[in-house]
Structure 1
C-alpha cells in the first residue's frame, strides 16, 4: 500500500471528452480538473483519435494542476474498445475510432473466426467495438506495420507514455474485445489462432506500480520526489471498483456517460443474451461480472436535443399524462434494442424543451430498467456519472425497479476508482460518499402514472420489431 499518496492525478480519456483530475484520496473528492474534447481525425486511412493532441493536453494539465495541488501519484483510465500498436517509442498505426464501419468483406471474414460467445462472453458488435475486429482489420490492411508492432491495451498506452513501462491489463481486455476468456482468465482462442499472443505486452494488475514518471515530464511539475505511475483501468470498471471494496452482498452499478454500463454484482444467475448486448465484463480483480450496456449519453442527446436543461417531475408527469414517448434506439447497433430505429409517438418539435428532456429521461430510465432485468441485477443501484444528476432518471429508475437508487454526482465516477488503484488491492475501503437519491427524493411524491406508462412503452417496443421484453420487477406506482 502506498500510504504516503494523497493527491492522485487521474488521466481519464473518455470517448467524448478527456480529463485530467486531481483526486484527494483522504477527502475522497476531486479538487481540480481540466478537460478537453476527444477529437477524431479523418485525415488518414481510417478515422482515428488525435492522440498527439491528447498527449499535449495531458502534459499541460499535469504541469498546471500540480502548481496548486501537489501530485503524489498518477493513474490512468480510458474508454473501452480501443487498442494500440506501438513500435519503438511511438505508435505504429493511429488508434482507430471504434465507430469506424469496417469494410463488409473484412468484417464478414472476422466474424467467421471470432470466438463463440460461450468462450468470450463478448457479443458481436458493429464497427470496431470488438477490438479483435480492429486488430484483424489492421493486420489485413497494414501487414508490414502490424508485423513490426507490439500491442498495449489503451489505458496502459498512456501509462507507457508517462513512465516507459509496457503492460496490458484485464479490465480492458475483458471489455467485449473477443480477446479474453473471462471464466478461465486467459487469452481467447482468437489470440492463439491468429498468432497474436507474443505481441501483447506483459499482463499486469490494474493496481501495479509500473514505474516513475519520466524525468522530462517530472521536471515541469513542482517538487523533486519521484511520482509513481499506476497501471490503470477501463473506465466503467473504475466506477465499479470503490463499490467492490466497500460493499457486501448484491448491488448494481450503472456507470453513465457516452455509455451506460450496468454491472450486476451478486445478482440472480442469468444466461446472458448476446443479441441484447449483454456480456461479462472483467473487474479489477480479474473476475467476470454480468453486464449490459447501451449508448445512454448518445441516446439522450438525440432525444433531448441541443439544449436539454434540467428534467423535473412536473414535466415528466405532463409527458406521461399526454402519452408522449421516445422509443429506442436512437444509437442503433448497440444496447438491448439494437435493431430498432428510434421513433417518437409525437413530433418532438411540438414539445417544450422541458417535456422533451423529461421524455428522454424517462426513456433512458426505461432502457436501463430492461438492462437490469437482462443481467439479473439485485440490491441497491448506484448511478455513477452525469445521469446521477438527473432527478427524473434516478427517481424513475427507483420506482421501476422497486429498489433504492444512490446517485454519485461528482465530475466523474471513474476518477475515484482510478485514484484508488494507488492504495493497492488490500487498502481499506473508502468511507461511503454516495448520496442516496431515494433520501433526496423523500419530499417528492412518486411520478404519477409511471407504472402504466412503462407497461405501454414496453408493449410498443415489443410490438415493433424487437425481441421479447424481460419481465419487469414491480416497483413503480401508478
Structure 2
C-alpha cells in the first residue's frame, strides 16, 4: 500500500503526531507536545483544545512536506468523552489519575460487574471508565440528560475529524468495566448506569469512520476525501503488528508511561485481579491476558531526568554489589500495587550509571513477573523506549525461557496504528536483545532470586 498515514498518538505523558510511510512503516516525521493536565474546574482534565491545534498544525505541515493519504488514531486507555447534542463536550474529559472517583468507591463497587464477566480488575482513581462515569453523573445530576453519546478516546479525535461517533473494541476492552470480552459485547454495567443507547456503537479499529470534514480539509490542505480510521488503544496498537506476523505463542511488552505485558497463546492461568492482571481485547476482538505497571513513570521518578547510560561493566558491578530497588515507586497500580519502594544496599546517587543500571534491572524484574503471571510462552518482543535500555533487556533475556527481541521502530504504537489502513504487512523489523556478556551471565539469576526473597 503506497502513501503516508498520519497517526495521532495521544499517550499519557506526550501527545504525538507521526507520519508513517505505509509501504515499510518507516516514520518520516514525528512531532510531540506534553500531555499537560489542566487543573481548573470542575476537575483536572485533558487539554483537548491545545492538542487539537497541535494536530491541525501538524497535519498541515505533513501535507505540505510529504502528503497525507489517511489518518489513524491511537491513544491511552481509561478515557471517555461525553458528547452533547451539538457534538461538543458535555463535560471536560477527566484525567484518570485524579482521585475523585474514589470518593464513591463503595457505591460504585455495589453495582460493578465481577472480574469473571469483564476481565477488568477494580482499579483506583479513574482507571475504570465505569467509575469515572458513575462519579461524574453523581456530581452533576443534569449531565446524563445532556449527554447524547459517549465515545472512547481514539474516537473522540475521529469524531472531531469526521463528525462520526463510535467506540472501538480495544478501548472498550481496556479495564473499563463496560465490556464483556468473552461475549464480545457490553457488560451488565451499561444498563445499571442507565446508558443503553448512549454509548456509541463499537467498531473494529480498522473501520473507516469517514472522510475528514470540509473545514478540516480547508484548514490543513488535505484532500477532502482523506479517510479517517476508527482508531485503537495504544498497547493494542503495539501488539497488532506482531499478531499479524507472529505465530502464537509469543508475548509483547509495550513500554511507555505504562508497561503492558501481553500474552498471545501461552498457558491459560487464572489471572489475579488484585495484581493488575486483566483481559485486554486486541484489534480483532480477541481476549488477551495482560498485566501492567507504570514502568515509565517509575523510571522517570527514579532517575529524575538524569539519562546516564550504563555499560556492561556497570551492570555487572551493580549485580555483584547486591544493590537493588524493590517495588513500587508508583504503588497505586501494577502487579505490586500497595508495596512501598525501598533500596537494598547503598542507594546509588542520582545521575550515576549505577543508578541507571539498578533501575533497569528493577523494571525487568517486575516485567518478568508480569509475563510469568499471565502464562506467557515463546519469544518476547519489547516495544518502545525500554527497547533501548541495556540493563532491562539483559535481565529480561536472562529470566525468560524464550528469546527476547526489540522493535527497531521509534514507537510501536504508530506502526500498529498505521497498519489499520490498507493491505499488506511489511517484513518485521526486529533485533535480538542484548544478552548478558558470558563473563557476567551467572550473576543475573542469583540477583533476581535475592530480589524475590526480599519481597517475601
Shift of 1:104: 4.5
Shift of 1:437: 1.6
**SS of structure 2 residue aligned to 1:458:** helix
Shift of 1:201: 1.1
In structure 2, the residue matched to 1:431 is 427
Shift of 1:148: 1.4
Q: Determine the C-alpha separation between the residues in 1 that align with 2:419 and 2:48.
A: 25
Say if 1:314 and 1:104 are closer, same or farther in 2 by CA, change over 3 A.
Answer: same
Q: Determine the C-alpha separation between the residues in 1 that align with 2:237 and 2:439.
A: 34
Q: Determine the C-alpha separation between the residues in 2 that align with 1:112 and 1:158.
A: 33
Shift of 1:263: 0.7
Q: How many residues are aligned here? A: 454
In structure 2, the residue matched to 1:164 is 163
- Within-5 A mapping of 1:246-395: 246-348=245-347, 350=349, 353-395=352-394
Say if 1:104 and 1:246 are closer, same or farther in 2 by CA, change over 3 A.
Answer: closer
* Mapped contact 2:303–2:351 kept (Cα < 8 A): no
Shift of 1:455: 0.3
Q: Determine the C-alpha separation between the residues in 1 that align with 2:28 and 2:440.
A: 35
In structure 1, the residue matched to 2:30 is 33
In structure 1, the residue matched to 2:4 is 7
Q: Determine the C-alpha separation between the residues in 2 that align with 1:260 and 1:221.
A: 34
Shift of 1:78: 0.3
In structure 2, the residue matched to 1:188 is 187
Shift of 1:347: 4.8
- Which of 433, 442, 445 is equivalent to 1:451? 445
**SS of structure 1 residue aligned to 2:359:** helix
For structure 2, the residue ranges without an aligned partner over 5 or more in a row are none
In structure 2, the residue matched to 1:92 is 90
* Mapped contact 1:316–1:447 kept (Cα < 8 A): no
1:219-259 Cα distance to aligned partner (Å, 9 max, x none): 23346461100000000000000111111121000000000
In structure 1, the residue matched to 2:74 is 77
Say if 1:320 and 1:247 are closer, same or farther in 2 by CA, change over 3 A.
Answer: same
Say if 1:215 and 1:343 are closer, same or farther in 2 by CA, change over 3 A.
Answer: same
Say if 1:352 and 1:171 are closer, same or farther in 2 by CA, change over 3 A.
Answer: closer
**SS of structure 1 residue aligned to 2:142:** helix
* Mapped contact 2:46–2:94 kept (Cα < 8 A): yes
* Mapped contact 2:101–2:132 kept (Cα < 8 A): no
TM-score, scaled to structure 2: 0.96
* Mapped contact 2:7–2:73 kept (Cα < 8 A): yes
* Mapped contact 2:323–2:347 kept (Cα < 8 A): no
In structure 2, the residue matched to 1:475 is none
Mapped pair 1:178 → 2:174: no
TM-score, scaled to structure 1: 0.92
In structure 1, the residue matched to 2:124 is 126
**SS of structure 2 residue aligned to 1:421:** coil
Shift of 1:315: 1.4
In structure 2, the residue matched to 1:465 is none
Question: Which range moved further: 195-204 or 308-317?
Answer: 308-317
Mapped pair 1:22 → 2:19: yes
For structure 1, the residue ranges without an aligned partner over 5 or more in a row are 463-478
* Mapped contact 2:408–2:429 kept (Cα < 8 A): no
* Mapped contact 1:172–1:233 kept (Cα < 8 A): yes
Q: Determine the C-alpha separation between the residues in 2 that align with 1:289 and 1:407.
A: 20
1:110-153 Cα distance to aligned partner (Å, 9 max, x none): 11211101111110111000110000011101121222112011
In structure 1, the residue matched to 2:49 is 52
* Mapped contact 1:174–1:280 kept (Cα < 8 A): yes
Shift of 1:39: 0.7
- Within-5 A mapping of 1:129-144: 129-144=127-142
* Mapped contact 1:389–1:409 kept (Cα < 8 A): no
In structure 1, the residue matched to 2:197 is 198
**Runs of 4 or more consecutive aligned structure 1 residues displaced over 6 Å after TM superposition:** none
**SS of structure 2 residue aligned to 1:264:** strand
Q: Determine the C-alpha separation between the residues in 2 that align with 1:303 and 1:141.
A: 36
RMSD (Å) for aligned C-alpha atoms: 1.6
